[in-house]
C-alpha cells in the first residue's frame, strides 16, 4: 500500500514538474511556406492565380518573413505587405514595401499568431496614407497562425 502511494505521489510530482517546465520552452513552429494568390474580385478570399511565394518562420517570438513576387506593380505603384487579424479586429500590420520583387522582414512580436491572413496591396510610391489600399493578393495563414 505504501509503495502504491509513493508511486502515485512521484507520478503527480513528475506531472506537475513537466507542466511547469513546459511554460519555459521557447515558442517554435515549423516554417510555413505557401503561395501568394491574386485576390478574388469581388472578395473576400483569394483565387488560384499565383503571384509569388511567402515563407514565415517563428523562433521564440521572432518572426522572419520572406516574400518573393512574380507579379509587377503598375507604374508609379509599389506592393506593400501586411499581416491581418481577419478573424478578430481586422487590424492590418504593415510589413513594408517590396523592394523590386522581394521583401524580407524580421520582427519581435508579442503574439504573431493573432494574424490569420497575409495580404499584398498596391500603393502609390510616396503614399502618405498609413491605411491599406484594396487587397491585390495574399494567403490565408496556416496553423499555427490564427490560433
Q: pLDDT by residue (tens digit) across 85-136? A: 988 899 999 999 999 899 999 999 888 888 999 999 999 999 999 999 999 9
Report whether 147 contacts 113 (CB < 8 A). yes
10 Å CB burial of residue 146 (0-12, 13-18, 19+) is middle
| pTM listed for this prediction | 0.77
Q: Over 90: is that where the pLDDT of 27 sits?
A: no
Domain 32-140: give its CATH architecture.
Sandwich (2.60)
The CA distance from 94 to 1, in Å, is 63
Q: pLDDT by residue (tens digit) across 37-89? A: 999 987 789 999 999 999 998 887 889 999 999 999 999 999 999 999 988 89
Does residue 42 have a cis bond before it (omega within 30 degrees)?
yes
Domains of the chain, residue spans: 32-140
Amino acid at each position: 500500500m505504501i509503495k502504491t502511494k509513493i508511486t502515485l505521489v512521484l507520478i503527480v510530482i513528475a506531472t506537475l514538474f513537466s507542466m511547469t517546465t513546459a511554460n519555459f520552452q521557447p515558442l517554435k513552429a515549423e516554417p510555413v511556406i505557401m503561395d501568394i494568390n491574386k485576390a478574388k474580385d469581388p472578395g473576400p478570399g483569394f483565387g488560384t492565380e499565383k503571384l509569388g511565394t511567402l515563407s514565415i518562420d517563428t523562433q521564440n517570438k521572432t518572426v522572419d518573413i520572406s516574400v518573393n513576387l512574380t507579379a509587377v506593380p503598375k507604374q508609379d505603384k509599389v506592393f506593400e505587405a501586411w499581416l491581418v487579424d481577419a478573424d478578430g479586429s481586422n487590424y492590418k500590420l504593415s510589413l513594408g514595401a517590396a523592394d523590386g520583387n522581394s521583401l524580407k522582414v524580421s520582427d519581435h512580436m508579442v503574439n504573431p499568431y493573432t494574424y490569420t491572413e497575409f495580404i499584398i496591396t498596391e500603393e502609390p510610391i510616396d503614399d502618405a496614407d498609413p491605411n491599406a489600399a484594396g487587397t491585390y493578393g495574399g494567403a490565408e495563414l496556416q496553423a499555427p497562425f490564427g490560433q
